Amino acid sequence: MNPAAQGSAVGARSASGPAPLLQTQALTLRAAGRLLVDALDWRVHAGERWCVIGRNGAGKSLVLRALAGLGVPERAGEVLWQGRPQQHWPAIAAAATRALMPQQAQDRFALTVERTLALSQVVVSCDSRTAGELMSALDIGALAARRADQLSGGERQRVALAQCAMQGAALMLLDEPVSFQDPAHQQLVGRWLAEAATGERAWVASAHDPSWIGRVATHVLALFGDGRWQAGPVDEILSAQVLERTYGCAWRSVEGAWIPA
């Protein structure tokens, strides 16, 4: 077992309980000749909100791609969705199980926001939120008739979050969901995400700001950039020691906010 994986068993359930929404078994990822993640043994259960942290190039986006079942330069180990290896899922079943929001959306067609959301729906159920409710919650209602490819970065990012929710998958994988947001919209998206992992749902998101993460996440997966990692509840991972190991600089907590020292 990876010696840095002190929190890897956090959230584990008994053998008789439900299978985790997401599980990795000895997942190892390499890119450009570098070992980025070594033997990741990890579980995500319904109701959990995970943030993945690490320096630029530490492998956060690579991890999310692997979790989503997309191609990565080099990988070993296993990823399971609801107890079943991801490669055994038919495409339509996979789309109903997990949704991925990349760092930057690429729009190939000149579609309005309203049409973009309508085409994103995969799972139709009685508890699925409507496009109107999502647009209101994410402050994109005024954008409904505008073309998605003509929005600002922050506007398009919130539309992408709504697309993930419209897909109806139990697991959302989000690559830096607030990187383009102004402070007010960072708070808005944070509140929305805090309520988005209810019932049978969960999400995993990459992020950089420990203070924002502390308000939104229940758990954190820290990537140290050399293959080592540490996972556990947010209060355990967001410590000066782990943050320094993750980002390579000292940190201090000031009235609940984390600041580089």
77-107: per-residue pLDDT in tens? 999 999 999 999 999 999 999 999 998 888 8
pTM over 0.85: yes
> In order of start, what are the domains of the chain with their CATH numbers?
22-260 (3.40.50.300)
Return d(Cα 69, Cα 50) in angstroms, integer. 18
pLDDT tens, residue by residue, 179-214: 999 999 999 999 999 999 888 999 999 999 999 999
Return d(Cα 8, Cα 230) in angstroms, integer. 7
When the pLDDT of each residue in the chain is averaged and rounded to a whole number, the result is 91
Residue 40 · residue 83 · CB < 8 Å: no
